Amino acid sequence: VNQILLLLLVLTVCAILYNKVHQVPLALKNETADLESPEEMEEEIPVVICAAAGRMGAAVAAISSIYSNTEAKVLFYIVGLKTTIPHIRKWIENSKLKEIKFKVVEFNPMVLKGKIRQDASRPELLQPLNFVRFYLPLLIQKHEKVIYLDDDVIVQGDIQELYDTKLAPGHAAAFSDDCDLPSTHEMVRSVGMQNTYMGFLDYRKQAIRDLGISPSTCSFNPGVIVANMTEWKHQRITKQLEKWMQRNVEENLYSSTLGGGVATSPMLIVFHGKYSSINPIWHIRHLGWSPDARYSEQFLQEAKLLHWNGRYKPWDYPSAHTDLWENWFIPDPSGKFKLTRPDS
């Protein structure tokens, strides 16, 4: 009996020692996995910005403001034409922005052939890069969720907050309603802006009336977009937008003589009643509609994103609140892009 008990004791001790020895590597492995998983699982935030000839300083300032105000991992997709790509790449690589993670994407304007109605009243609105937002899934392949920003914005908040915008099931995008922020209503009235569908679509045309959209419906601004690529592709949003572009060429359903030009109108049609909302503080607009109409400084300091949509851009003169924009501007190392100022 004693020998049996002694044997059992020895086996028990051996089992305990065996478990201790073999649990150490497992524990280390788990600990290592716990240490690595947040970094591996951390989501990259893809941000799409266009770099157009003559306004590359805008893209640089926008990128600078985003990068400086977040701890998140941001991947910038900088979209340009073949002729402009070398300039923007050199600007980034020879400035303090050389630390950012970015990809330069060439946009082929041939995809727009036959889809844009020529209009001489505001030719700048017909620039090919204005339509990049229509083709997001073709330019950005591996991401489920994407942020698109116009180049004339400054981001004062953490871009992670904007990226965390919730999209309702079945919605391919989130936008800011033009009626969403009471503090901007006075600005809208003072400069005579339109914030309803009447300001963008020609309701004299039967094709527009057939949509059944009330002309007093509040419009939205597609200069800031949080997009779901899966839904975008599933709903064939790009094809729908192209259909309305082609119809406009044939029937002149909207034009740049109206409030929003030619890039906003097809989006208003395709996304009517089928989009989620961006927090209003994440898209303070109309800073470029008049060099004289100004918001209060306190209001602008609290804003998370400022947008100089309109004719009066902060890198030109005259413009409003240029100091807030210049805080983030990085001079062009090549000297090609220069700010226009009263004393220049």
Q: pLDDT per residue over 253-294, tens digit each?
A: 986 555 556 889 999 999 999 999 999 999 998 899 889 878
- Whether omega for the bond prior to residue 318 falls within 30 degrees of 0, making it cis, is yes
Give the other-Cβ count within 10 Å of 101's Cβ: 10
At 152-200, the pLDDT tens digits run: 999 999 999 999 999 999 999 999 998 866 555 555 555 455 688 988 8
Where along the chain do its domains lie?
Answer: 40-178+220-235+264-327
Rounded CA gap, 57 and 234, in Å?
A: 35
Question: Contact 133/225 with Cβ under 8 angstroms?
Answer: yes
The closest of 50, 57, 53 to 339, measured between CA atoms, is 57
Q: Is 236 helix (H, G, I), strand (E, B) or coil?
A: coil
* Residue 151 near residue 132 (C-beta atoms within 8 A): no
Q: Give me the amino acid identity at 18.
A: Y
Instruction: Judge whether 221 and 175 are in contact, CB under 8 Å.
Output: yes
CATH of domain 40-178+220-235+264-327: 3.90.550.10
**Three-state SS for 120?**
coil
- Per DSSP, helices labelled H in 83-194 are 85-93, 136-139, 159-163, 182-190
Radius of gyration of the chain (CA): 26
Closest C-alpha among 211, 198, 205, 204 to residue 251: 205
pTM as predicted: 0.85
Tell me the average pLDDT of the chain: 85
pLDDT in single tens digits along all 344 residues of the chain: 566 656 666 666 555 554 443 433 322 223 223 333 333 345 899 999 999 999 999 999 999 999 999 999 999 999 999 999 999 999 999 999 999 999 999 999 999 999 987 764 555 667 899 999 999 999 988 999 999 999 999 999 999 999 999 999 999 999 999 886 655 555 555 545 568 898 889 999 999 999 999 999 999 999 999 999 999 999 999 999 999 999 999 999 986 555 556 889 999 999 999 999 999 999 998 899 889 878 899 999 999 999 999 889 999 999 999 999 999 999 999 999 999 999 86
